[in-house]
Structure 1
């Protein structure tokens, strides 16, 4: 036959042949084409046979193709016989070696079967509409009237920068069950989708290079000098806003290689179109499609933890997660019994070491909250709003936290500390940038925390606040809080926290100290926390110290000194130690409270001095100058001066008192021995740099931040 064509199915293009031989032998007709094509496919080596011609004719087509780019032609050919390969958009050299059989029976449709394989070379294709790359893939078909099996075996099959697997897939089209076993080369899902979707690389890392934006402070001065109205200043603002918007939190949610996770399996049951189910047994992952809603579950986060850097980053140990959606636009989730130790406490004093979270995600916002609504979070674009109710925050736990997300905030591995002039230039630029954003209605990238009825815990002392507002923006954190008429202001800049708290009452101080220690008065605190050392100055006025073992011990000591008894105020100690005004310059580390300068002006006693307190043991080593009656120059001849009394400024009689022991059981002695007097100061200087110099600098910084 010369140039015949054959149509085997109404849905197919004709098979064309240049020359074909028909050979009838042994009751079988052999169709032997010499050159044959189907659409763009060359079918060299293909042939067909007819047998059982008189009873139940059977047509067997032996279809062979040479490797070439055929697109979806092979798939379309098979689909005409209701053999649906889950592949499309094939852009890879492919070849086929198939046997198609048609058995013609009386009064019934022909029986169809196909056996053989389709091979794909390196290239791309889609599997169930998922775009993939593969180095090679082999699809084996075993389809008959009673069963339909498709087996797919691939090498280095990749999805973007997220998956690289050697996969073996078994698909039972009759039972509608799919199973997958794979050798893992790489599985990676990152919070930064730019990493997920970039070109594949096996080694581009678990290290998560953080692209955190920061201003180049050394080059900022020339821009500041050009003036806020200059083009170079405006361009710098625009470039900064753009860079900040591109700055992404980058951390791997899941990361595994063949060294950490050798294989992974997946089961998928789509036998019931109204309730499809899937599972990954090794990781206790499962999901379902039911009532037009997709549900995904992680039943045990412990199974994920070895492969989840983000769980390690937030020190998340265990829990479960369920996510549901009907359209992948509106998503609800529930995280249950998350085992995570946070530096926060319930109002009853119980620490948050386990919590559950509800949440939803839509195109406008992300919302997360605890069942009691004690914690709620809303994310709209680049703005994050966090609300806390009746929560206690332990600053001690926060500073000592081993959670990497917290610990890195205080890491000493940071850039060179900027000069005061560079910080001043930065302040000017940030203020101008924020004015620009407001004028042009640009929503700034910020995190805002509002806490109501919160208690801060520092050195085991509670600091209650009715309201606390924290705003993190432009690498600065601004903090404002209040308790009745008292106010607290703080700024976190370049790892240093600058604090001013003023108008606090004596009752508030008693609450902090958890004892009835002072009566009346107003208190102001100014200080800075840097490298886990707090340096500050506490000022107070019109207050009385009560129930203070050290003070009572000193009064008892004074009562034993004859030279002081002459001038003793009969009311000394009756109403506590009454202070007209006073200040204490101090520093606090984890182990020590250093008292650089004590200066108290009282109605009956003036006290000045310095010293050190070992916090864990409440151990004291203080040197105090205690002055009693003032302006005595006109009556000095009446005073029986003894060796431990000296005449101070303004005619005050002063004695040196050395204090040791503990806060609860102090031991005092009067001395003029220089080695004893100097001992506390030497210890103080060994532990702390000059605190008064630091505090003076802190005051300047606070004034500049809150102009």
Structure 2
């Protein structure tokens, strides 16, 4: 019977028409249903009209909906194929939990133990994250819950496993559009990104690798730029690397640790053409606050004019005549205060050492 598959997911049905016929143990059902749906989205709106055709025979059921959704159901597995349909994963998981609770007394043979989802030209929404993809494949095991997935994005891809409340996820060669949907790095423009994440779902750590991007157009950058423009040593530089257009990052590494609601930057190293940046700190998303210590090492030599620069405790002068500025950043995430601080090394590990921590791909749950 199709009834177990229509329960929960099609409630409450607003209106519709269904016709069924039985011929030589073949069950044919077709019709149109209208109901409030929170899982499937098209053109940024939840789909409310479902025109479907279904055929059941010998324990196998095939359902086609709106010409771009295909569902094949057997006693142990369901296969869902989508095209140009966005999916809200939060509501999908809610449905799975509701379905299982409504059918927990039934034998395992009547409930699909695995759901395989194949999607094309689709965006996946999960909590505040969004992941637009050219294609993806996911396998969901409802009980105990486990999720394995691969998503494709132009030349990049993301692979992941979530099982026993643990996750391992790797992403490689991703665009700024993809990384903005997954992280707080909305102020980076252009470039290529790779990342790893490993740990508990609410407590994980990893590394982000950055190449050829522009840091600009956010309050943190603007406030740092304003502070640098008050420092005489920086004003004497021909090309400090910071301007109104932004700071060009040639390559960089961020080591992070996320434990709800705090994102900790254990190490930040960004290399530019005229300056390098190191830092560490954290963001509290519940309070919308940031606390970050940052050191900017300008690569241009000031050897010939060092005697003209006022000596300040927040400046470090290298043997080659270069200068570094240490900054303390605190306050609102949307308008942090930037102050100079007594100079000291913040991150001592060189960039190439930190890059080695980014191993792609992980061996997923050996």
- TM-score, structure 2 as length reference: 0.73
Correspondences of 1:289-438 after superposition (within 5 Å): 311=8, 316-318=11-13, 322=18, 324-327=20-23, 329-334=25-30, 337=33, 339=35, 341-346=37-42, 348-352=43-47, 355=50, 357-363=52-58, 365-370=60-65, 372-379=66-73, 382-395=76-89, 401=94, 404-405=97-98
Partner of 1:692: none
1:450 aligns with 2:118: yes
Pair 1:620–1:485, CA change in 2 (3 A): same
Shift of 1:658: 2.2
Post-superposition Cα deviations, 1:15-51, rounded to whole Å, max 9, x if no partner, equal xxxxxxxxxxxxxxxxxxxxxxxxxxxxxxxxxxxxx
Looking at secondary structure, tell me which structure has more strand per residue.
Answer: 2
Count of residue pairs the alignment pairs up: 343
**Which residue among 641, 659, 668 is the counterpart of 2:329?**
659
Looking at secondary structure, tell me which structure has more helix per residue.
Answer: 1
The structure showing larger relative contact order (alpha-carbon pairs under 8 Å, at least 6 residues apart) is: 2
Which one has the largest radius of gyration?
1
3-state DSSP of counterpart to 1:573: coil
Indicate if the aligned counterparts of 1:391 and 1:453 stay in contact, CA closer than 8 A: yes
Indicate if the aligned counterparts of 1:375 and 1:387 stay in contact, CA closer than 8 A: yes
Indicate if the aligned counterparts of 1:563 and 1:641 stay in contact, CA closer than 8 A: no
Separation in 2, partners of 1:497, 1:515: 21
1:530 aligns with 2:200: yes
Separation in 1, partners of 2:320, 2:164: 45
Separation in 2, partners of 1:604, 1:633: 16
1:554 aligns with 2:248: no
**Which residue among 592, 603, 609 is the counterpart of 2:273?**
603
Post-superposition Cα deviations, 1:388-433, rounded to whole Å, max 9, x if no partner, equal 111223356567x48624899xxxxxxxxxxxxxxxxxxxxxxxxx
3-state DSSP of counterpart to 2:45: coil
Indicate if the aligned counterparts of 2:28 and 2:54 stay in contact, CA closer than 8 A: yes
- What stretches of structure 2 of length at least 5 have no aligned partner? 102-112, 347-355
3-state DSSP of counterpart to 1:704: coil
- TM-score, structure 1 as length reference: 0.41
Indicate if the aligned counterparts of 2:168 and 2:362 stay in contact, CA closer than 8 A: no
Indicate if the aligned counterparts of 2:140 and 2:148 stay in contact, CA closer than 8 A: yes
Separation in 1, partners of 2:74, 2:116: 12
3-state DSSP of counterpart to 1:705: coil
Pair 1:604–1:556, CA change in 2 (3 A): farther
Pair 1:368–1:534, CA change in 2 (3 A): farther
1:542 aligns with 2:212: yes
Partner of 2:297: 627
3-state DSSP of counterpart to 1:378: strand
Separation in 2, partners of 1:598, 1:407: 44
Separation in 2, partners of 1:381, 1:402: 19
RMSD over aligned CA atoms reads 4.5
3-state DSSP of counterpart to 2:363: helix
Separation in 1, partners of 2:250, 2:291: 25
- What stretches of structure 1 of length at least 5 have no aligned partner? 1-189, 192-251, 254-300, 302-309, 409-444, 679-694
Shift of 1:652: 5.8
Pair 1:402–1:450, CA change in 2 (3 A): closer
